[in-house]
Amino acid sequence: MTLNTSETNTSTANSNSTQTLRKVPTLSLRDYSHGTPAEKEKFITSLFSGIKDYGFIILKDHGVSSDLLAQAYQMLETFFKLPTENKTKYISPSGGGQRGYTPFGEEHAKDSPVMDLKEFWHVGRELPAFHRMAKFYPPNIWPVELPEFERVFSQLYSSLEAAGLLMLEALSFPLAVEKNFLTDMVKEGNSILRLLHYPPIGEGVDPRCLRAAPHEDINFITILPAATASGLQLKDRDGQWLDVKSDMGTLIVDAGDMLARLTNDVIPSTTHQVVNTPEGKTQSRYSMPFFMHPHPESLLSCLPSCRGTGAKYPDISAGDFLMQRLREIGLIK
């Protein structure tokens, strides 16, 4: 398996008829967690402006072990090479693809007429049975063929969540809410670690199908460890499709629909896709996005600092919004 170690992408995009150098900002989370007051303030400003004005940021010094990421990718490759009959044993009986395995061709982007070219596995939050949120979260499913699977991906879930909590705390300052406002929404939230396999694209595939058609994520923020192959593109605020490449071990972060709704589109969700690259005809691509969700009872209500001339969206619970979007992408009927 060859890991993508390309430099962070720089591209040009037209803006007011001039050529402007565009680069996904790279930030150090250590500047926020252990930096001086000036470094902390710069991180907060750069995170907010990057995710608001550009759509993505690249994160380094985030505390997620490079060894853990390498081990996770190796285990992911091993699992998806299992025979189909082995993998389909782990389709969740609770439906909706919330846990365990979802087969190839089950999910499509919102409003897309064709399915994405991928299969995936979901790891979710574990809560004790007596917890008030336990009713919302089906139990995780673990493949018996890989005894270390549970340990590796539970640890990765926790590590990515820890990085996400710091970023959401940092965003509370420019959004003029209490420091723990966003983190309290997600600490018992329905966050999902998605383990993705994009198989080689064989002959005869519908030419309309992409590995992942243009879409926006559902959640607050998505934290994506650099994938094993190229193909990720974002649509920047100028409407240009740009390749997103990052050094192995860094994290790519973007905003989803729930954060856009909460902020009245002050932080818009970012449209992105995974295109069919030439090497994709023979090479699998593996990816591990962590979708950071608020808990289902959270109210997605426009923040006062973002109201402007008025809220664009009616209030809705995070749980109801998630179910609505899962229907739109074909995971629940």
59, amino acid identity: L
The backbone torsions φ and ψ at residue 330, rounded to the nearest 5 degrees and listed phi first, read: 90, 5
Residue 294 DSSP code: -
Q: What is the CA radius of gyration of the chain?
A: 19
What's the CATH superfamily of 10-328?
A: B-lactam Antibiotic, Isopenicillin N Synthase; Chain (2.60.120.330)
Taking the alpha carbons of 295, 299, 305, 307 in that order, is the dihedral positive or negative? Answer: positive
How much is the pLDDT for 14? 36
How much is the pLDDT for 277? 79
pLDDT at residue 201 tops 60: yes
Looking only at the bridges linking them, the beta strands covering 221-225 and 290-292 are antiparallel
Mean pLDDT of 303-308: 95
pLDDT digits (tens, 9 = 90+) for 114-153: 887 899 999 999 998 899 888 889 999 999 999 999 999 9
Domain boundaries, the chain: 10-328
Mean pLDDT of 104-122: 81
How much is the pLDDT for 210? 78
Instruction: Give the integer Cα–Cα distance in Å for 82 and 311.
Output: 49
pLDDT digits (tens, 9 = 90+) for 255-299: 999 999 999 999 999 898 988 777 778 889 899 999 999 999 999
Instruction: Give the integer Cα–Cα distance in Å for 243 and 69.
Output: 22
Q: Are the C-beta atoms of residues 296 and 59 closer than 8 Å to each other?
A: no
Instruction: Give the integer Cα–Cα distance in Å for 2 and 65.
Output: 19
Mean pLDDT of 156-183: 97
Q: pLDDT band at residue 253, thresholds of 50, 70 and 90? A: very high
* SS3 (DSSP) at 210: coil
pLDDT at residue 318 tops 70: yes
- Write the CB contacts of 24 (distance below 8 Å, at least 6 apart in sequence): 8, 9, 50, 54, 56, 57, 58, 234, 244, 246, 252
Q: pLDDT band at residue 22, thresholds of 50, 70 and 90? A: low
Smallest CA-to-CA distance from 244 within 58, 4, 9 is with: 9
Q: What is the mean pLDDT of the chain?
A: 87
How much is the pLDDT for 165? 98
pLDDT digits (tens, 9 = 90+) for 64-101: 999 999 999 999 999 999 999 999 999 988 766 789 99
Among 106-110, 173-177, 308-312, the minimum mean pLDDT is found in: 106-110
How much is the pLDDT for 332? 67
Percent of residues, the chain, with pLDDT higher than 90? 60
